Amino acid sequence: MTDMMHNFELFQPGSLADAQALLKKHGDDAWLLAGGKDSLDWFKDRVMQPTAVIDISGLAELGAGIRDEAGGVYISAMTTLTDVAENALIKDRFPLLAEAAAHVASPQIRNVGTIGGNVCQDTRCSYYRDGFPCYRAGGNTCYANTPTAMNREHTLFEAKRCVAVTPSDTAPACVVLEAEMVVRRGKKEVVIPAEKFFIGPDIDIERMTALKPGDILMGIRIPAKWSGSHQYFEKVADRNTWDFALVSIAMAATVEGEAVTDIRLACGAVQCTPRRLSDVEDLLKGEVPNEEMETLAGRVASSGSKPLNYNHFKQPLMSSLAKRAVRSMSA
């Protein structure tokens, strides 16, 4: 029976220490709740059935907000996606992130959903979400990678047992901007680079982030390095509202004179983690963006991809987005 939640005990701790104590006490039976937009889906489908749900939305230590940090910004994990998208500081310095946040789901969801929840959400693979005993769920089969499987939304790269992809729109932006994820681990504060925060099946097939049991994401720190650079974000989905990306691209670049001096690109929804387009970056550094470079970038972007039964369309789509990102520098 779907849309019928299981029974659980709801805790609303008064401090971060209390939340950590509850996580330790309940272990694998605990579930952190922030905005709750992804959590409630899991509960209604009865796939996840924690006995203890710990609501951290009211913790003063996690208070929502965005502040200036020496030309960069610090974003509390509890900050809503709407606030990220509309914040003047972010729109001025890191419009790429503002644009990515503005493309998440629908206005109603962005008004409640948090950026912390967006970067931490689990994959949207329908087999996994429907409760199939796949590798990611602790089983021994990938149901999305069989001759008859429906895998239109799945990976082009690094299909190691699991072929699910990252669903987060803001994750590629965080990787491109060299963001740092600030995590409370026990009594310590651990800082994890965004590129290492998102992990693939080769590291742990049952997790999509480096968060360990008991960890709490406190916030996201974006350094000043890319402030004021040329930035670009585009997401292609079946519908502009609500749907997850089929492919997305994020780019930050510095241009002196007419030549690219530094650049970072990442694609979303083409592998389990945001995919750095390192070969495209190497191709473009020192070059003048033009039609020839657009074509080369598009060709290199999807090089090495291995489509599944029903997602061949992602190859030309990924190439086209890379071309458009390069074109934006000369627009």
∠ Cα 8 11 17 (to 5°): 140
Please give the DSSP secondary-structure letter assigned to residue 320.
H
List the one residue out of 77, 287, 80 whose CA is nearest residue 189.
77
Which are the contacts of 179, defined by CB distance < 8 A and separation ≥ 6? 193, 194, 220, 221, 222, 223
pLDDT truncated to tens, each residue of the chain (331 aa)?
Answer: 556 788 999 999 999 999 999 999 999 999 999 988 888 888 887 788 999 999 999 999 998 899 999 999 999 999 999 999 999 999 999 999 999 999 999 999 999 999 999 999 999 999 999 889 999 999 999 999 999 999 999 999 998 899 999 999 999 999 999 999 999 999 999 999 999 999 999 999 999 999 999 999 999 999 999 999 999 999 999 998 889 999 999 999 999 999 999 999 999 999 999 999 999 999 999 999 999 999 999 999 999 999 999 999 999 999 999 999 999 999 7
- pTM for the predicted model, two decimal places: 0.96
pLDDT tens-digit profile of 220-260? 999 999 999 999 999 999 998 889 999 999 999 999 999 99
pLDDT tens digits along 55-90? 999 999 998 899 999 999 999 999 999 999 999 999
Q: Residue ranges of the alpha helices (H) in 29-146?
A: 39-44, 81-86, 88-93, 95-102, 107-112, 115-120, 126-129
Q: What are phi and psi of 266, to 5 degrees?
A: -150, 145
Helix (H, G, I), strand (E, B) or coil at 82: helix
Q: SS3 of 76, please? A: strand
- Could you tell me which of 245, 221, 240, 261 has the C-alpha nearest to residue 314? 245
Among all chains, which residue has been given the structure tokens 């925060």? 197
* CA atoms of 65 and 79, how far apart (whole Å): 6
Q: Give me the domains of the chain, ranges plus CATH numbers.
A: 63-331 (3.30.465.10)
Beta pairing class for 9-11 and 52-55: parallel
Reported as type and span, the H/E element at residue 73 is: strand 72-76
User: Helix, strand or coil for residue 17?
Assistant: helix
